[in-house]
Each structure stands twice: as C-alpha cells, then as structure tokens.
A and B are shown apart, each in its own frame.
Chain A
Amino acid sequence: GAVVSQHPSRVICKSGTSVKIECRSLDFQATTMFWYRQFPKKSLMLMATSNEGSKATYEQGVEKDKFLINHASLTLSTLTVTSAHPEDSSFYICSARTGTGRFHSPLHFGNGTRLTVT
C-alpha cells in the first residue's frame, strides 16, 4: 500500500532556531500534500496544502513566514518551522493522496513529528 514517510519522528530544538520536517511519498507520486498540527488530545488542524512546483496554500491564521513549506518534487514536501518558540511545540503530521478526481482516494499519513522547543 501507499506509504508516507515523515522524518524526524522527534526533535528538540532551542528557542529561536529553525527546524525542518520532511514528508516523502515512498511508492507513489503526490502532487498535493497536506500539513496538519495536532495538540494533545485534540483533532488535526490543517495548516497548509502543499502543491508541487507552486506556492503552498495556507489556512487562515497560519503564519506562512513562520511555517515555510516547500514541495520541490512529486515525492517530497518539507515544513520548516522558523525561529521556533515554545508555543510551536506540537505534533505535526503530513499526509498525501494517491489520486485525485471523483474516485477519491483517502489520505495516507506520515507517522508524525513531535516538536519540542525549549
């Protein structure tokens, strides 16, 4: 089945530094990937939609200068948390879909990245 690999699974960084999270589709091409943020015992909140070869589309309230998204190829999207602060500590999950159109395919999720900013 479709596999989405997310790396790293855990990262601890100091306040003010930047952290990059990678999301790869291993056995399929993903023109669109999605980045979610999840707080403890809460639902997934869509942060942005990453489109290969074009700018990401950010949800309302998400700072695009803080959460930089790059979708340079059909199998890789990256999320960079710039100048991280403790309030950015969270669980970040990426996802991708194997197909588009009416015969909609479900999302396949990475294993998530737990970011802790000290």
Chain B
Amino acid sequence: AQTVTQSQPEMSVQEAETVTLSCTYDTSESDYYLFWYKQPPSRQMILVIRQEAYKQQNATENRFSVNFQKAAKSFSLKISDSQLGDAAMYFCAYVSMKTSYDKVIFGPGTSLSVIP
C-alpha cells in the first residue's frame, strides 16, 4: 500500500523568507500524481500545486515550487517570500492512476507558522 510521510510536524519561517516542507512517499507504481494542499484555520482545503509523475520538470505556481525526485520518492514544497497568509497546515498527497477510484492518500501534515 502507498504511504505518504511528512517528517516535520511543525515549521516556522520569517516573513519574506523561504521555507521548504518535506514529503516522501512509498509506492511501487510509476504512474501517479502528487499534490500539496493547504488548510488554513478556516479548515478549507486549498490546492497549492500538483505534479505529474511522468513529468521531469518541477511544477511551479508563483511563489510555490516543488522539488520532485522520482527515484528518491521525494516531493518537497518550497515557499518563497513567505507571507502571513501562508500560515496553515500543509498536506502532501498522492494519488495512483492505477486504481479505479482515484483514492487520494494524505500525509500527516506540517503546521507552518509565519513570523512577522
């Protein structure tokens, strides 16, 4: 079974600085997607960025970028120029394209604090 691990339960970053959140996953499959979701105090889940496993190029979305290392099964999220609104729980997520139900597996989450 696939698993997603986030080894940093809590992280903090100074406003305007850069922070990297770690994520590793375990799978025997080659075709899958990876996501980072953000959950602010409102509890609304918000998609931050996604990566297709068949693409070698790392995904970027404005201040958010990933470092996808398929062989190492690593998928870290880098937040540049951190803003107060970035404070939230961040969940790394995996979905296999092999299963018919497209089940998404979430990591345990990293709580990010942004210090003014």
A25 to B47, CA, bound (A): 17
Report the Cα distance A11→B44, complex, angstroms: 17
Give the complex CA separation of A61 and B96 in angstroms.
21
Q: Which of B16-24, B67-75, B79-87, B102-110 contacts A (4 or more CB under 8 A)?
A: B102-110
Cβ–Cβ contact B45 & A32, under 8 A: no
Please judge, given known A-B contacts A91-B43, A93-B45, A102-B97, whether A41 and B102 are in contact too, CB under 8 Å: no
Chain A residue with the shortest CB-CB distance to B45: A109
- CB nearest neighbor in A for B44: A111
When the two chains form the complex, which single residue of B35, B42, B102 contacts A32, counting CB atoms closer than 8 Å?
Answer: B102
* Residues B102 and A44 in contact, CB atoms below 8 Å apart: no
Is B114 in the interface zone, CB < 8 Å from A? no
Find out whether the CB atom of B43 lies under 8 angstroms from the CB atom of A104.
no
Give CA–CA (A43, B9) in the complex, Å.
11
- Find out whether the CB atom of B43 lies under 8 angstroms from the CB atom of A111: yes
**Contact between chains at B103 and A43 (CB < 8 Å):** no
Please, how many angstroms separate the alpha-carbon atoms of A33 and B98 in the complex?
Answer: 18
Contact indicator A97/B35 (Cβ below 8 Å): no
CA gap between A4 and B8 in the complex, in Å = 30
Contacting pair A112 B50 (CB below 8 A): no
Which residues of chain A are near B43, meaning CB under 8 Å? Answer: 38, 91, 93, 111-112
Given A43-B106, A43-B107, also A32-B47 (CB < 8 A): no
Is A83 on the interface with B (CB-CB < 8 A)? no
Query: Which residues of A sit under 8 angstroms from B109, Cβ to Cβ?
Result: 41-43
Among B45, B89, B101, B107, contact of A95 (Cβ-Cβ < 8 Å): B45
| Residues of chain B with a CB closer than 8 A to A95's CB | 45, 104
**Residue numbers in A under 8 Å from B47 (CB-CB):** 106-107
Q: Which residue of the partner chain, among A34, A100, A102, A112, contacts B104 with CB atoms under 8 Å?
A: A34
List residues of chain B with CB within 8 A of the CB of A112.
Answer: 43-44
B33: chain A residues within 8 A (beta carbon): 104
A97 in contact with B102 given A41-B111, A42-B108 (CB within 8 Å): yes
B binding-site residues for A, Cβ under 8 Å:
33, 35, 42-45, 47, 50, 52, 89, 91, 95, 97, 101-109, 111
The 3 closest A-B pairs by CB, nearest first: A109-B45, A43-B106, A106-B47
